[in-house]
Amino acid sequence: MSDLAPFFRLMGAFWVLVRADAVLPRALDPYLPPAARMLARTLRLFAGPQARRGRPGERLAIVLERLGPAAIKLGQLLSTRADIFGQQFADDLARLKDQLAPFPMEVALAEVAKTFGKPISDMFSDFGPPVGAASLAQAHSARLLDGRKVAVKILRPGVEHRIRADIRAMTLAARWAERMGPEASRLEPRALVATVARSLELELDLRLEAAGASELGEVMARDPYMRAPKVIWEGVGKRVLTLAWAEGMALSDPLALEQPGMQRPDLATNLIRAFLAQALDHGVFHADLHEGNLFVAPDAGLMAVDYGIIGRLGPAERKYLAEILWGFLERDYRRVALVHFQAGYVPEHHSVDAFAQAIRAVGEPIFGHNAGEVSMGRILGQLFEITALFDMRLRPELVLLQKTMVTVEGVARRIDPNHDIWAAAEPVVRRWITRELAPAARLQRLMQDALDIFEGLARHAKAPVAPPAVVIETQGANVRMLWFAIGSAVAGGAFLIAALLAR
């Protein structure tokens, strides 16, 4: 029975999509190859009366809402890419960001009282109706007893059950996908689903979201690009989260960018720089930056809400990301290729120079052009062809990063159609490269390596005595590492001194 429920859920989802003509809608017929067009026409034989109602994006939005939280997340991502799917299609999906049907007010009030074990009036002087409803939760405006205006986020009733059902269905679909051949298995479907499932599970505990908002608030405060609302910790529970009120208007509101004094180019630039500064400088970033989670005001700039999905990068991934971006900025495609090989993104049996040539074919047509002059759909298609040509596999640890980069770039395009992503990224990437790859930084890391080895030797000296051969072999390796680190540090110091004298 364990596999039957996910199977029927998948079949039910596919049938709902077919009935609404949302798998391969007739609007796509002119762009489909003959085989796909024939498949679309066959599926359309089973379409219901709803297949003729409304536009493809409207029908898909209705279906995704019915299918539940995981499907809604997909719709949110698609809605940020008007450049790929068309403006009307993206606009029709936009309501999935924060305009879903709310659950009843009495249910929300009961949940808050249950979470904190006391009446609403003991915490809030006023508690308003929902101001936004998304896939997992809805938000209410309220006032604390001291008069401060706050936003109270409450999880949807029964959402945990729906998420668990979605995860089981996605896991089954991933197992099927892996059997479809090498091209499907190259995308690591099971690892991808595991990454998505983990992020969804973490979103179901609002105490973790509060911690993420607090951490990223400290990170954002170090740069002027973006802000986070303050966490009201006495209003935090597993199913309820209270934050200071975000001033301004959500970017999902069509009037948000029409506010007097709004500087669109600056806003788009700050969004790109905020994301890159978080990811590169701190290794932690807001991984759900769609328009419904971004508030804007002419005087206050950008404020991000909804910290349920937090992305993290280790030092190695941050280095690879910075060097790849810097290589593109410098149009040094061989450097970009080398970093891909060093990171293990491209199998070693391929040629670095051939991969650099393929990367050049992507980079040159877009360098120096603004967003309105670049077809992101064409670029993504070309990148996918390159990954297949060079046997590149999906890296699960980078899924949130890649998804966020696609979202952020799409939102920046909507804010400013003439946005130049490279000009926006350059100061943040240059700052990282200058700081982390300078001789002084390398010397500091070498000295830290030496200290780590000394500490390892000290711990080894206190450890129980091992058989003589093992002790001699281990000590010999440690000594060799120690002398290498000391020698490297001395050489690095000499290089730094010579560089300073030369200036």
pLDDT tens-digit series, residues 345-403: 899 999 999 999 999 998 888 877 776 676 666 776 777 788 888 988 878 778 888 88
Q: How many other CB atoms are found less than 10 A from the CB of residue 373?
A: 12
> Are the C-beta atoms of 289 and 272 separated by less than 8 Å?
no
pLDDT band at 464 (very low <50, low <70, confident <90, very high): low
**Which residue in the list 223, 288, 306, 416 is annotated as catalytic?**
288
Q: In the structure encoding, which two tokens stand for residue 320, read together?
A: 């690879």
> Are the C-beta atoms of 394 and 191 separated by less than 8 Å?
yes
* Number of residues in the chain: 503
Mean pLDDT score, 453-476: 53
pTM for this prediction: 0.78
In the block, residue with structure tokens 């560089």: 499
Mean pLDDT score, 32-47: 83
Partners of residue 143 on adjacent β-strands: 126, 149
pLDDT of 83 reads 67
pLDDT of 396 reads 75
pLDDT band at 135 (very low <50, low <70, confident <90, very high): confident
Top pLDDT among 40 and 337 is at 337
pLDDT of 185 reads 72
Of 70-84, 97-111, 453-467, the range with the lowest mean pLDDT is: 453-467
Q: Largest Cα–Cα distance in the chain?
A: 81
List phi, psi (to 5°) of 312: -135, 145
Task: Report the C-alpha gap between 441 and 268 in whole angstroms.
Answer: 31
In the block, residue with structure tokens 């298609």: 381
> Are the C-beta atoms of 279 and 68 separated by less than 8 Å?
no
242 — alpha (psi -120 to 50), left (phi > 0) or beta? beta
Of 104-108, 135-139, 387-391, 485-489, the range with the lowest mean pLDDT is: 485-489
Highest mean pLDDT: which of 140-149, 169-178, 388-397?
Answer: 140-149
Of 76-90, 264-278, 300-314, 357-371, the range with the lowest mean pLDDT is: 76-90
pLDDT band at 481 (very low <50, low <70, confident <90, very high): very low
288 is catalytic: yes
Mean pLDDT score, 70-92: 79
Helix runs in 303-343, H state only: 315-329, 333-342
Top pLDDT among 187 and 277 is at 277
In the block, residue with structure tokens 């939005």: 61
Residue type, 253: D
| Spatial CA neighbour of 303 closest among 228, 216, 379, 384 | 228
Task: Report the C-alpha gap between 97 and 147 in whole angstroms.
Answer: 29
pLDDT of 75 reads 83
Coil, strand, or helix at residue 99?
strand
Highest mean pLDDT: which of 34-48, 133-147, 175-189?
Answer: 133-147
| Spatial CA neighbour of 351 closest among 324, 393, 383, 390 | 390
Highest mean pLDDT: which of 13-17, 87-91, 325-329, 384-388?
Answer: 325-329
pLDDT band at 479 (very low <50, low <70, confident <90, very high): very low
Mean pLDDT score, 129-154: 95
pLDDT band at 269 (very low <50, low <70, confident <90, very high): very high
Percent pLDDT > 70 in the chain is 83
pLDDT of 3 reads 66
In this structure, the strands spanning 149-155 and 137-144 are: antiparallel
Task: Report the C-alpha gap between 288 and 373 in whole angstroms.
Answer: 26
Mean pLDDT score, 110-125: 96
pLDDT of 249 reads 93
Mean pLDDT score, 40-68: 84
Whether the per-residue pLDDT at 141 is higher than 50: the answer is: yes
Mean pLDDT of the chain: 83
Of 49-63, 77-91, 392-406, 454-468, the range with the lowest mean pLDDT is: 454-468
| Spatial CA neighbour of 330 closest among 371, 368, 378 | 368
pLDDT of 450 reads 66
Whether the per-residue pLDDT at 448 is higher than 60: the answer is: yes
pLDDT of 19 reads 86
pLDDT of 496 reads 35
Residues 157-169: tens digit of each pLDDT: 999 998 988 888 8
pLDDT band at 246 (very low <50, low <70, confident <90, very high): very high
Task: Report the C-alpha gap between 333 and 16 in whole angstroms.
Answer: 46
